[in-house]
């Protein structure tokens, strides 16, 4: 069959579907996003011309949603001027970055997807950005019919077993970041020089020792906040769950921190929660004690300052994030605070509780209301597979943001961070083949990677798609309770820990915690049977 005949058949099929839907909408089998895909495919400026070739005669702008604070020094615009020159030459399109800034990011991100705004491409994740919940709401367009034609390099490079982890109700809705090596397990960064002064001779591997470090700073570094942090940080919660239990996080979003975990890797299908475990009260009591001792600011719940900058200025003794951040921050600290010997306490170090990263920890989806789905996927195919475009987006301009020396990216001699720094926060399609090693990543990070490799366990939930239909109101209510009450408990500002935790748990119960737990367990039991049958 020729491509022209295929197009005619497709059009006739769409007409037939519309007629049938008009006769009996209740019998329609198409989802909202599936219908949107077909409508867009026939009406968008980049749909196929009658000769079967892709029509790019009309110039279009393609939006790409990323998470992060928009750069303000003008370098991003300079880099994307070159990116878009190439985009125009190759597909007659222009990329427009749309930023969801970190302040209240979870709410703003989900509201954007719920708004019906015709966004094109958007950064997604199944383990921290509620991708399955948003797919359930019809936020993404199915990609099965579009990918082979409009993103052929991406389609061919991703194996079918990886595509299997990106499907919602049998349809591909995510392009996974499956060819990029990273570790995003979380922990606390601390100054090795100050730890040695405090008499801590080995690596910090538990919160008790971390407390000794903070007390030393409080007693001996008068101008320093032991742990300068913000209320949106969740390190105490995930840290205690990781360090003092064998629980592993489930890919089910509940607002600012996850309420639902599996009991352990060996009991990966048994649902539980750190919140209703003794470990949560232990955390609340320790954090109240730390807050009373002044390990962080009194106004922590309202503080919005740049705490990482304060660490680099020698005004804070700790920071919290994941291994990839640490690998770069160590190099910055070696320059900013020579001899500081920044180290990391990975939360997994206490009990060797570490799960490998999901390939959908980062990814890209196509908005259900995209007006240019074909051209959007063509743009994505270039972002991921065109070396020049990829390296511009990820690294900036050679000679301004970096130079190549001995096979590594290094900062140019005239580089000024305030004036020349660049980032794009593109976390939806990175690939190892185009990465350039950099001297901004600490060589010593390999010792952490080697340690992780000795006890890591494979990610077990790649094909688990949670259906929240029957408990959507309860999940929303749980997320609201966590957002309203969680930060104060995590940072020791909720009063008596016993009463605060009891009240928190009661409010979660009232919000529908037991109903949600039962439904998750039901679906996890079904998933267990699914995996046993493979």
Quick one: tokens of 513? 């915690």
In this prediction, residue 34 carries a pLDDT of 47
User: Are residues 261 and 272 in contact, defined by beta-carbon separation less than 8 angstroms?
Assistant: yes
**pLDDT at position 130, please?**
86
CB-based contacts of 25: which residues, under 8 Å, 6+ apart?
none
> Cα–chain-centroid distance for residue 519?
25
* Coil/strand/helix, residue 465: coil
Distance CA 122, CA 131 (A): 11
Inter-residue contact 322 to 186 (CB < 8 Å):
yes
pLDDT at 35: 45
CA dist list (Å): 494 to 8, 283, 304, 317, 498:
65, 13, 19, 24, 10
Q: Which two tokens stand for residue 239?
A: 């840290």
- φ/ψ of 492, rounded to 5, equals 65, 30
Task: Kindly give the confidence (pLDDT) of every residue in the chain, 534 residues in length, as a single tens digit, with 9 standing for 90 and above.
Answer: 333 333 333 333 333 333 323 333 333 333 444 444 444 444 455 555 445 689 999 999 999 999 999 999 999 999 999 999 999 999 999 999 999 999 889 899 999 999 999 999 999 999 889 898 899 899 999 999 999 999 999 999 999 999 999 999 999 999 999 999 889 999 999 999 999 999 999 999 999 999 999 999 999 999 999 999 988 899 999 999 999 999 999 999 899 999 999 999 999 999 999 999 999 999 999 999 999 999 999 999 999 889 999 999 999 999 999 999 999 999 999 999 999 999 999 999 999 999 999 999 999 999 999 999 999 999 999 999 999 999 999 999 999 999 999 999 999 999 999 999 999 999 999 999 999 999 989 999 999 999 999 999 999 998 898 898 899 999 999 999 999 999 999 999 999 999 999 999 999 999 999 999 999 999 999 999 999 886
Instruction: Tell me how long the chain is.
Output: 534
Q: Cα–Cα distances in Å, from 196 out to 9, 75, 191, 200, 230? A: 73, 40, 9, 5, 26
Secondary structure E strands in 233-390: 248-249, 261-262, 271-272, 318-322, 342-346, 363-366
pTM of the model: 0.74
SS3 content of the chain, % helix, strand, coil (to 5): 50, 15, 40
User: What's residue 9's pLDDT?
Assistant: 39
Residue 44: per-residue pLDDT: 54
Distance CA 436, CA 401 (A): 13
Q: What is the CA radius of gyration of the chain?
A: 25
Tell me what pLDDT residue 31 has. 40
Pick the closest to residue 300 from 257, 238, 236, 210 (CA basis): 236
- 90, two tokens: 């190759």
pLDDT of residue 162: 94
Confirm if 46 and 378 have CB atoms less than 8 A apart.
yes
Cα torsion through 26, 29, 30, 32, rounded to 10? 40
Q: Which residues of 344-369 are buried (b: 16+ CB within 10 A; e: fewer)?
A: bbbbbbbeebbbebbbbbbbbbbbbb
């Amino acid at each position: 069959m020729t491509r022209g005949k295929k197009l005619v058949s497709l059009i006739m099929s769409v007409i037939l579907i519309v007629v049938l839907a008009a006769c009996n909408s209740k019998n329609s089998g198409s989802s909202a996003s599936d219908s949107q895909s077909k409508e867009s495919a026939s009406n968008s400026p980049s749909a196929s011309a009658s000769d079967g070739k892709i029509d790019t005669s009309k110039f279009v702008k393609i939006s790409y949603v990323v998470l992060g604070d928009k750069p303000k020094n003008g370098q991003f615009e300079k880099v994307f001027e070159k990116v878009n020159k190439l985009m125009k030459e190759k597909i007659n399109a222009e990329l427009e970055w749309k930023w969801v800034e970190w302040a209240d990011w979870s709410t703003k991100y989900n509201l954007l997807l719920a708004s019906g705004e015709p966004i094109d491409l958007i950064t997604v994740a199944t383990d921290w950005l509620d991708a399955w919940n948003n797919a359930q709401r019809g936020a993404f367009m199915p990609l099965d019919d579009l990918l082979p034609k409009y993103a052929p390099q991406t389609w061919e490079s991703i194996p079918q077993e990886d595509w299997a982890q990106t499907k919602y109700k049998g349809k591909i809705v995510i392009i996974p970041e499956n060819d990029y090596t990273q570790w995003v397990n979380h922990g606390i960064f601390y100054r090795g020089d100050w730890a040695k002064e405090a008499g801590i001779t080995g690596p910090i591997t538990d919160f008790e020792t971390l407390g000794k470090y903070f007390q030393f700073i409080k007693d001996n570094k008068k101008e320093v906040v032991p742990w300068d942090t913000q209320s949106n940080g969740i390190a105490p919660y995930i840290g205690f769950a990781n360090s003092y239990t064998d629980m592993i996080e489930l890919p089910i979003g509940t607002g600012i921190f996850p309420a639902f975990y599996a009991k352990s890797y060996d009991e990966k299908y048994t649902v539980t929660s750190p919140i209703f475990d003794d470990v949560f009260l232990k955390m609340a009591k320790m954090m109240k004690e730390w807050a009373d001792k002044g390990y962080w600011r009194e106004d922590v719940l309202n503080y919005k300052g740049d705490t990482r900058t304060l660490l680099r200025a020698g005004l804070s003794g700790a920071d919290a994030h994941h291994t990839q951040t640490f690998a770069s921050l160590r190099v910055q600290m070696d320059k900013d605070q020579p001899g500081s010997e920044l180290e990391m306490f990975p939360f997994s170090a206490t009990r060797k509780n570490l799960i490998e990263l999901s390939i959908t920890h980062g990814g890209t989806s196509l908005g259900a209301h995209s007006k240019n789905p074909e051209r959007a996927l063509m743009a994505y195919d270039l972002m991921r597979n065109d070396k020049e475009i990829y390296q511009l987006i990820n690294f900036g301009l050679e000679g301004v943001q970096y130079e190549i020396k001995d096979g590594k990216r290094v900062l140019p001699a005239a580089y000024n961070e305030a004036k020349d720094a660049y980032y794009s926060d593109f976390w939806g399609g990175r690939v190892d083949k185009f990465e350039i090693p950099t001297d901004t990543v600490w060589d010593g990070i390999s010792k952490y990677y080697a340690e992780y490799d000795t006890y890591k366990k494979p990610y077990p939930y790649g094909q688990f798609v949670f259906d929240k239909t029957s408990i959507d109101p309860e999940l929303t209510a749980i997320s609201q309770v966590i957002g309203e009450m969680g930060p104060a408990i995590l940072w020791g500002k909720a009063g008596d820990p016993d009463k605060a935790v009891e009240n928190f748990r009661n409010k979660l119960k009232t919000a529908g915690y037991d109903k949600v737990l039962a439904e998750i367990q039901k679906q996890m039991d079904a998933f267990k049977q699914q995996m046993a049958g493979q």
